[in-house]
Amino acid sequence: MRLTYPILCLLSTASVQATLIEYDGFDYPVSSSEPAGWVSDGDSDHASVEAGSLSFPDYAASTGNQMALQNKTADYLHSFAATDLAVGETVYFSLLMQIDSVADFGSQFNVVFRLYDAADPNGSAVSVGMGSSTSGSNTFGFSVDNRNRGWGHTDAVTGPEVYAFGETHLVVGAYTRGASSGDGEVKLWIDPSSSSFGGAEPAVSLSEASYQSDAVWDTFEIASSGSSSLPSDWSVDEFRVGTDWASVVPATIPEPSTYALLLGVGVALMAYRRRTQR
C-alpha cells in the first residue's frame, strides 16, 4: 500500500471543510461603482470593480474581478455573520492587495483595514496600517493595532519596510479572545509561506496584546479616505473571514480532471500490486 497511500491522502484531504464565515472574490460585472455589499460612509465614492483579479503563488485562484481604490475617497464597510468567540478562540480575515502607483506615505502609517464589532466602534479591532517611516521611500511596511481608533498608527506595532509597489501581497489578520482585556492577542501576517496554505497557523509576523475580551466580530472596513499620502491606485481581492487559518488561507485546489487522473492512477497501482502478489 505504500504506493497508493499518498494519493489516497490527497483525495481525502480535499474533503475537509474549514470554517469560512464570509468570502468575496468580487465576481461582479466591471463597474465604476463600489461592489455589492461594500457600503460607502461618504459622498466621495471612488471605489470600482475593475477587470482582472489578483493572484499569489500557490494560493487559491480568484473567482472574479477586483475592487479598485484610490486616495481621499470614502471608506467602505462590509458586514458578515457575527462571530461568538469563546475564550481561546480566534477570528481571522485575509485578502490580497496590490499598490499599482508608487505612494509617498509622508513618513507615517495610515490605517487601511479594520476588523471589529459594529456595536462597539471605539473598542477592540484588528487594525492594519501601511506606510513608511521615510518620505519618498520605494518600499513600504505594515503595522497592527488592537483598537478601532484614529487613522494614524502611532501606537501600533510596525514591521520591516521591505514590501514593493506593483506586487501582490497576502495580508492575514487575527484576533484571539483572552479571558480578560490583555490576555488575548491581535496578529498580522504578510505574505506567509505557502507551506501553511490550507494547514495550521504559522509563526506570526507582528502581534500585540488585545485591548478587550470580545466575542462578537461582524464588520470589516477598508479605510481609503483621509490623507492624500495613501496610494492613488491600489486594489484588493479575495476577501475572507473565518475561524481557522485554513479557511482564510486556502491552498490551490486542483481541477476536477486532476482528481480524476489521480484516482485512475491509484486504481491502476492497486491492480498492479494485486497481480504482483499472486
| CATH code, domain carrying 33 | 2.60.120.200
Same-domain pairing of 52 and 171:
yes
Cα dist. 115→74, 222, 223, 246, 268 in Å?
17, 9, 11, 18, 49
In this prediction, residue 199 carries a pLDDT of 94
First-to-final CA distance of the chain: 15
Task: Write down the pLDDT at residue 35.
Answer: 93
Q: Whole-angstrom Cα distance, residue 274 to residue 249?
A: 40
Over residues 25-59, the pLDDT tens digits come to 999 999 998 999 999 887 666 789 999 999 999 99
pLDDT digits 0-9 by tens, 253-277: 644 443 344 345 455 555 545 555 5
Strand partners, 74: none
Tell me the C-alpha to C-alpha distance, in Å, between residue 26 and each of 16, 60, 114.
25, 14, 19
C-alpha grid cell, residue 233: 491606485
**Same domain flag for 241 and 267:** no
How far is it, in rounded angstroms, from Cα 145 to Cα 127? 5
pLDDT, tens digit (0-9, with 9 covering 90-100), for 127-183: 998 888 777 778 889 999 998 765 555 577 888 889 988 999 999 999 999 999 889
Q: Does residue 104 surpass a pLDDT of 70?
A: no
Better-predicted residue by pLDDT, 170 or 230: 170
What distance in Å separates the CA atoms of residue 249 and residue 171, rounded to the nearest whole number? 10
Residue 244 has pLDDT above 80, yes or no: yes
Which of 163, 166, 97, 93 lies closest to 127 in space, CA to CA?
A: 93
Average pLDDT over residues 87-116: 86
Q: With contact defined as beta carbons under 8 Å apart, do 130 and 153 qualify?
A: no
pLDDT confidence of residue 233: 82
Same domain, 259 and 167: no
> Residue-wise over 214-231: b if at least 16 C-beta within 10 A, else e?
bebbbbbbbbbbbeebbb
Give me the pLDDT at residue 40, please.
87
H or E element at residue 274: helix 256-277
User: Residue 123 — φ and ψ, nearest 5°?
Assistant: -100, -140
* Cross-strand pairs, 59: 251
Give percent helix, percent strand, percent coil of the chain, each to the nearest 5. Answer: 15, 35, 50
pLDDT greater than 50 at residue 197: yes
Do 162 and 214 fall into the same domain? yes
Per the prediction, the chain carries an average pLDDT of: 81
Tell me what percent of the residues of the chain surpass a pLDDT of 90.
52
Find the domain containing 101 and state its range: 19-249
The verdict on 185 and 261 lying in the same domain is no
- Residue 126 and residue 261 in one domain: no
State residue 41's pLDDT score: 81
Q: Are residues 36 and 168 in the same domain?
A: yes
pLDDT value for 158: 85
Q: What is the pLDDT of residue 275?
A: 58
Chain-centroid distance of CA 42 in Å reads 25
CB 113 within 8 A of CB 173: yes
Least Cα distance to 112 among 141, 81, 138 occurs for: 141
Q: What is the tally of structural domains in the chain?
A: 2
Whole-number pLDDT of residue 221? 93
Same domain, 218 and 264: no
Do residue 126 and residue 5 come from a single domain?
no
Q: How far is CA 100 from the centre of its chain?
A: 18
Same domain, residue pair 2 and 110 = no
* CA quadruple 35, 36, 39, 42: dihedral, nearest 10: 50
Q: Is the dihedral of CA 143, 144, 149, 155 positive or negative?
A: negative
C-alpha to C-alpha distance for 239 and 65, rounded to whole angstroms:
12
**Better pLDDT: 15 or 71:** 71
Q: Do 181 and 266 belong together in one domain?
A: no
Q: Which residue has the higher pLDDT, 73 or 163?
A: 163
Q: Verify that 229 and 124 share a domain, yes or no.
A: yes
